[in-house]
Structure 1
Amino acid sequence: MTPAAEAGTAAAGIDARGVLDLLDALDSTPGLEMHSIAIASAGAVVAEGYWAPYSADRVHLLYSISKTWTATAVGLLVDDGRLALDDPIIDLLPGVGDLRIAPRWRQVTVGHCLRMATGHHTEAWGAAQVGAAGEPASINDLDPVVASILSHEPEHEPGTHFAYNQVATYLAAAAARAVCGQSVVDLLRDRVLIPLDVAELPWTRTATGAEIGFSGSHARTRDILALAQLYLDNGRHGGRQILSPEWVATAMASTGLPNPEGETIDWRLGYGCSFWTSQHGVRGDGAHGQFALVLPDQRIAIAITSETEQMQPVLDAVWRHLIPAVDRAGSSAADADLAARLRHLAVEAPLGAGPVTERTWQRAAGNVSSAYTGARLRPGAGGIHTLSLVRGEAVLETLVGESDWAESEWTDGDAALPVLARGGPTREGGYAADLRIIETPHTVQVRVAPGSEGVDLSWRNPPLNGTDPLWLAVRTRIPRIDT
């Protein structure tokens, strides 16, 4: 992506007033907390903003936008002629020949998997599969997660029924790894990630070391935007044809199969190869409000990260305010107002409002994993104190800024999880802090009522893969070397 246009959105044919109205609508939507937004026109970023403490340099858990990365990896192999969408999926999975396979699985193709048309009636993924037992395996070994998936036959004939479920994309990712002999990230790196200036793509993996494919990828907002722009530009970037126009058209074309579980309009319009058909264009989206919008009619791409349980209002705001602003005359005054607004975005969070004294609390309520049994508060210098969360035999030391965000790293074995925290004593005599799991949409809220001896450790919105925050970790701890 090229840098944000200095001339502003008006020069790109977008009225900045529409973007301002969009920001107003998003910030006033109940239950929605924005983390970032970026809008590109003609391949140039024309508006970009981050709600502090979220920032341009940090990756963000994308949830099911991960499916679009996986589909892109498959697209490379299709373009190379190394696999085809009508290839039976089990023919591509190493070690499967030794299994007894139900007849319907023999009919399931790569295309069925990418299009959520495997024949399943509903979600078929079990949370235990992420942690399937087994030592890290070579690319040629039978994946125990694949074996578990194939032990359950789909309820319908493949290609006849749409059911959004995770096993479909997991199998597509497994097939891609087997065909290319690499991980999905390694397959993407030289041909997609480096050309798009995607510095890294951390990904949640199973116990065997495989990317789960359907979720778990982490990328910057600019990276999401670049992915959307790649599809908007028919697979071309920087003068190079990265994906064929034929693949792009196939990926964005709806199968026409109805979604029986679609509760709102933009989830009832059809699904392609890991792209949803929208009222405008197509999109990759991920739980809790992550979006990669591809809008060919308006010639724009949009990336959004956020935290919400209701995603349709985000799209409604884009359709209502931004779409009409495209090809509408703007003004330099509106551009200036938008630039100022984008510089001062911030999430709401507690501020310290009293002296910090040493305190110890037992866990009283909340839905953070029961492994967390209490907390201890210790005062520090410079408006930063230490909140220690007791997690079984371990203690997670968390720096909490009273007025500014303080950063810590939680660790568990080799796993590391960055956390930003702000808060302190309340005016009423209690305690409140928000612990931002900053590379995800999620926040642990720490609350102590005035006079209480119990601490409430709860999620603002719980993650999809379990309640323990450390299960979100995708980074590896770098040992400190004392000199």
Structure 2
Amino acid sequence: MRTLAGVALFALTALPAAGADLPRSNPEAQGVSSPALRAFIEAADKDIDALHSFMLVRHGHVVAEGWWGPYAAETPHMLFSLSKSFTSTAVGLAAAEGKLSADDPVLKFFPNEAPADPSTNLKAMRLSDLLRMSTGHQTEPLRKASESWAKTFLAQSVPFKPGTHFLYNTSATYMLSAAVQQATGQTVLDYLKPRLFDPLGIAKPTWELSPQGISTGGYGLSVRTEDIAKFGQLYLQKGKWNGKQLVPEAWVETATARQTSNGSNPKSDWDQGYGYQFWRCRNGAYRGDGAFGQYCIVLPEQDAVIAITSGVKDMQAVLNLVWDKLLPAMKSGALAADEDAAKKLASTLKGLALRTPEGKASAPKVASKKFVFPSNDGKLESVVLENGKDGAVTLVARVGGTDRRIECGAGSWVKGRTAWGRLPEQPCAAAGAWTADDTFTAKICFTETPFITTVRLKFTGSEVRYETEANVGFGPTKEAALVGKSE
């Protein structure tokens, strides 16, 4: 089990947390069992590697919330494809304002990007086909930095009649974002700010842009865990928030209904049908989700919303745990107060943290020695380990002519900033230990993303073997080992 030490925020009182719009409540008052909630958290902590945050909203009240340190409540998290559900919402709002229609042909918005002689299927493609991931493509159009993404999309062959063939297609969501920008004169981020983000109290959302200055649509949005929960609660309430209809109820119902079939496996939450950028789930639920385990799960039958961020390889395992542990925890009426169970739940939530490297071995005498590497694709030039207080070790890596200093706590996460591999400079937290007599292992957690990099340095005489591996990724996660020599 992960070490129960670190930073986590929880609230189980009847009053709203400072600066938050969602009220808090004791689980039992909202018909949720504290022991069952604790069983879910402990199972997730033990068996899922690894959740970063969890929030359960029942009857409009947050009844449990926790963050696995070094992740924290105030920190935004990359949503990846959960962004798609927000883009869908922008389309619904633009349609309600008469800026566009789901029945509009896609070519209507891109007269300067269209091929000279569009195919019959391309001319027939509508925004609704983009929304339901049924564009008629056999393969997803590429998105290259050197080319117009819209032009590349429209140049792609469309062998199937739009609306008849499901293909999960992030480029299709980008085209929805681009269509909204064409219709409104604003990026999806700017368009949603006064219409969605501000009313929900979602502060400082960020969204990546394409080379053409268009919100990427299918990914790229970053918000906090509670912001995900608010978005789900808005949809649970059929688009209404604080007495105001922010999103048309008809759009909510259409977007979250089964618009197309995408499989037949009764045990898979990816085979239950697809709406307008929302997945249908088992147990009468629907969700937005993103790569490596970013979830906004709406359960209308239970009047509940679940928000989860994570960095997992097996996304189905997380949903299985929700159905196995959380679904039975929600009862139709209020439960008797259980102060002892509530205290145990609160203690568990407060103490959550990701695993740090553990070590009992004695360190070799390599402190402050510089190990130099031959030329390599990662531009790693040298590494040095510097001993600090209380067992902390600072890893100094010189990459592309720049020293990157990463302080690694001993049994705890130390916050900082760094760039690593393909990741630009950003907030991080690191921990490290001598995991063998000759091996120092560091974990670098990029706290606004799902990504955690593990670095292993194995020392043998005057040499060091350098290995690095990411917890998750869209391609290979392990890089070729490098061997450096001491100066």
User: Which TM bucket (shorter chain)?
Assistant: 0.7 to 0.9
Aligned pairs for 1:391-470 (under 5 A) are: 391-410=399-418, 416-451=425-460, 453-463=464-474
Task: Look up the match of 1:471.
Answer: none
Aligned letter for 1:13? Answer: G
Q: CA deviation at 1:324?
A: 1.1
Unaligned runs of 5+ in 2: 1-19, 480-487
> Per-residue deviation at 1:120?
1.7
Letter in structure 1 aligned against 2:456: R
Q: Output one character per residue of 1:393-412: Cα deviation in whole Å (capped at 9) or x when no partner.
A: 44433232234322222359
Q: Letter of the aligned partner of 2:55 in structure 1? A: A
- Who is 2:282 aligned against? 279
Q: Hey, what does 1:300 align to over in structure 2?
A: 304
- The 1-side partners of 2:67 and 2:389 are apart by 29
Assess, with a 3 A threshold, how the Cα gap between structure 1 residues 463 and 378 changes in structure 2: closer, same or farther. Answer: farther
- Measure how far apart 1:88 and its partner are: 0.6
In the alignment, does 2:194 pair up with 1:190? yes
Give secondary structure in 2 for the equivalent of 1:396.
Answer: strand
Q: Of 365, 368, 389, which aligns to 1:358?
A: 368
**Shift, 1:442, TM fit:** 0.8
Is 1:117 aligned to residue 134 of structure 2?
yes
Report the AA paired with residue 396 of structure 1. Answer: R
Structure 2 CA distance for partners of 1:60 and 1:99, relative to 1, 3 Å: farther
Q: Retained in 2: the 8 A contact 1:446–1:455?
A: yes
**SS of residue paired to 2:432:** strand
Moved more, 381-390 or 443-452: 381-390
- Match of residue 19 from structure 1: 37
**What 5-or-longer segments of structure 1 have no aligned partner?**
134-143, 469-483
- For 1:335, what is the secondary structure of its paired residue? helix
Indicate conservation of the 8 Å contact 1:357/1:379, yes or no.
yes
The CA RMSD over aligned residues, in Å, is 2.7
Contact preservation (8 Å) 1:352, 1:403 = no
Q: What per-residue deviation string (whole Å, max 9, x for no partner) do you get for residues 60-81 of structure 1?
A: 1111101011111111101112
Q: Which residue of 1 aligns with 2:145?
A: 131
Residues 431 and 177 of structure 1, relative CA distance in 2, 3 Å threshold: same
Q: Answer whether contact 2:392 2:432 (CA < 8 A) is retained.
A: no
Give deviations 1:109-168, integer Å, cap 9, x for gaps.
11110110101224x143xx25235xxxxxxxxxx1111111112221100010111111
Q: How far 1:382 moved relative to its partner? A: 6.3
1:101/1:410 CA distance change after superposition, 3 Å: farther
Say if 2:173 is the partner of 1:169.
yes
When the two structures are superposed, what TM-score results if normalisation uses the length of structure 2? 0.85
Counterpart of 2:354 in structure 1 is: 347
CA contact (8 A) 1:22 1:322 kept: yes
Residues 393 and 432 of structure 2 are in contact (CA less than 8 Å); yes or no, is this contact kept in structure 1? no
Give the drift of 1:466: 9.2
Indicate the SS of the match to 2:179.
helix
Percent identity between matched residues is 31
Does structure 2 conserve the Cα–Cα contact (< 8 Å) formed by 1:160 and 1:257?
no
Within 1, Cα distance between the matches of 2:242 and 2:408? 43
Distance 2:145 2:189 in 1: 20
TM-score normalised by structure 1 residue count: 0.86
Offset at residue 3 of structure 1 (A): 4.7
Match of 2:80 in 1: 63
Q: 1:121 to 1:190 in 2, by over 3 A?
A: same
Worse overlay, 11-20 or 419-428: 419-428
Change (3 A) 1:363 1:343: farther
In 1, Cα distance between equivalents of 2:410 and 2:311: 23
Letter matched to residue 302 of structure 2: Q
The DSSP-based 3-state class of the residue aligned with 1:157 is: coil
Say if 1:130 and 1:206, in contact at 8 Å, map to a contact too. no
Indicate whether 1:335 and 2:342 are aligned. yes
2:316 maps to 1:312 = yes
Shift of 1:211: 1.9
